[in-house]
Amino acid sequence: MKTLRLLIILPCLLFLGGKNAFAEITSDEALSVFVSAGMAYKEGRYDAAIDKYNAILEGSRASGPLYYNLGNSYFKKGNVGRAVLNYERAKKYIPRDSDLKFNERYARSKIDQQTADTGQSYFERVIQSQIDFYTTEEIIMILFGLGLSIGFLYLVSLYANWRSSTRGWIMATLVFGILVYGFILITKVEYERGLAIVMAETNTFFEPRPDSTVHFQLSEGMKTRILKSEGNWVKIERFDGKAGWIDREVLEKI
């Protein structure tokens, strides 16, 4: 229940309170523009909706619902790349939202994926499911709660004269939980570092030169990982391990 409350409260705080105390747009203004953008979307004025949602973002008022609605607006415009990009950004705030999951899957069904994310072991799939299930803030709160529980229960055990075996079993369980969620947090941060979405169909080259041999193609909306950069070129890696160089202008970091 605690995690569920965090899921509901955190996006609202980020949207209404903002992440920046010196934001360029007030919470009342942001809410007004958000409602106006929703009306524009319902009327089929997708360009106007996009402009309004982006105005809120420029005012440092990011939230899951905002990115989700922006993704929907881009999808209606036929811009699959930016739709997927904003769905991915929305997942950082509301990863378990059913509407978001459905719309993202539908958008991805329109992409020529070329390759699936294969090769993961059962253990890797379990870890990936946990990475996708929680936000970074939620994992930090879980770790904080486990840490407090260790200190509190240890003091209780001393006061109540628990048997050492009982105290040891409880402490070991909590420490194990900290290790597990600590590992998930580190893995999540590492996994999300360098992730980017392809904004337009493009060729990938063996070397960072336009006259180099074409290695493979990337479709609009595909997710890749940035390995390194060199001038206007970036080396990316697909999730099947294939890597190559592309122009940085066709990539947008998540």
pLDDT by residue (tens digit) across 41-91? 999 999 999 999 999 999 888 999 999 999 999 999 999 999 999 999 999
pLDDT at position 87, please? 97
Classify the C-alpha dihedral 93-97-101-104 as positive or negative.
negative
pLDDT at position 89, please? 96
pLDDT reading at 115 higher than 80 = no
Q: Which amino acid is at 33?
A: V
User: Which structural domain range is residue 26 located in?
Assistant: 2-109
CA dist 187 and 194 (Å) reads: 13
In a domain, 117, yes or no: no
Mean pLDDT of 161-174: 92
Name residues whose C-beta falls within 8 Å of residue 110's C-beta, 6 or more positions apart in sequence. Answer: 80, 221
pLDDT at position 13, please? 43
Domain co-membership, 49 together with 12:
yes
pLDDT reading at 93 higher than 90 = yes
Mean pLDDT of 168-196: 94
Percent of the chain at pLDDT exceeding 90: 71
In a domain, 209, yes or no: yes
Domain co-membership, 98 together with 148:
no
* Residue where one domain finishes, among candidates 191, 218, 244: 191
pLDDT at position 183, please? 96
Would you say 56 and 30 are in contact if contact means Cβ atoms under 8 Å apart? Answer: yes
Domain co-membership, 131 together with 93:
no
In a domain, 115, yes or no: no
In a domain, 181, yes or no: yes
pLDDT reading at 8 higher than 80 = no
Mean pLDDT of 153-161: 91
Domain co-membership, 22 together with 72:
yes
pLDDT at position 1, please? 40
Q: Per-residue confidence at 16, pLDDT binned at 50, 70, 90?
A: very low
Percentages (nearest 5) of helix, strand, coil residues in the chain: 60, 15, 30
Domain co-membership, 183 together with 162:
yes
Q: Per-residue confidence at 6, pLDDT binned at 50, 70, 90?
A: very low
Which of the pair, 146 or 21, is modelled with greater confidence?
A: 146
Nearest to 225 by CA among 182, 190, 200, 201: 190
CA dist 82 and 46 (Å) reads: 13
Domain co-membership, 62 together with 99:
yes
The tally of domains found in the chain comes to: 3
pLDDT reading at 4 higher than 60 = no
In a domain, 116, yes or no: no
Mean pLDDT of 16-38: 73
Domain co-membership, 230 together with 169:
no
Alpha carbons within 13 angstroms on the beta-carbon side of residue 140 total: 5
Domain co-membership, 46 together with 26:
yes
248 is written with which tokens? 């940085």
Q: Per-residue confidence at 120, pLDDT binned at 50, 70, 90?
A: low
Percent of the chain at pLDDT exceeding 70: 87
CA dist 179 and 187 (Å) reads: 12
CATH of the domain at 239: 2.30.30.40
Domain co-membership, 171 together with 200:
no
